[in-house]
Amino acid sequence: MFKHLHGSNELPREAAEFFIVFSRYEFALKRAGFVNGTVGKAASPNWDGYGKKLGTTFFGIVTASEQAKIFFEKPPKRLDLQEDRTLKFLEVEAVTNNKKLFDAVKRVRNNLFHGEKISMGERDKKLIAASLHVLELAMDNPGISEECKRVVQTFQYSPSSGQ
């Protein structure tokens, strides 16, 4: 049924790697206690809480990184629904803190996964590389927060949950 998706239209390796890392990261966030939701309802990762725990030191590390500069110079656009029900990519606010940084990483994922990316250009590849770099920096710099250290531990190894 989906054989037409193979060949020259295959998902680039870096996009596949990003999807794998991102999904594992969200698993680790939830298991480490960075979770949003209501009892009896779906749980979701708490990226905002994670960013707060990483603190301003982490943000300074990212802003000093050449590999992440695309987030500060030209962050990924957001796909918005227009009044006439059409879709349009729009500019977003500058990345000025961890919340907006992780929002940008999530937007890269959303734009690739949901956002009409028929083919990947050089900018997409740079955004993916920057996203992976930010996630790796967060793993390498959990700070003093025990919760952030648990994200690292959970990401690296987790016993099978049977799910």
In this predicted model, what pLDDT tens digit does every residue of 101-159 receive, in sequence order?
Answer: 999 999 999 998 886 666 788 999 999 999 999 999 999 999 889 999 999 999 986 55
Contact 18, 135 (CB under 8 A): no
Q: How far apart are the first and last CA of the chain?
A: 27
What residues contact residue 89 under an 8 Å CB cut-off, 6+ apart?
77, 78, 79, 80, 111, 115
What residues contact residue 80 under an 8 Å CB cut-off, 6+ apart?
87, 88, 89, 90
Residue 108 pLDDT = 96
pTM of the entire predicted model: 0.88
Residue 120 pLDDT = 80
**Angle of helix 98-114 versus helix 122-140 axis, rounded to 10:** 140
Residue 119 pLDDT = 73
Residue 156 pLDDT = 83
Domain limits of the chain?
47-152
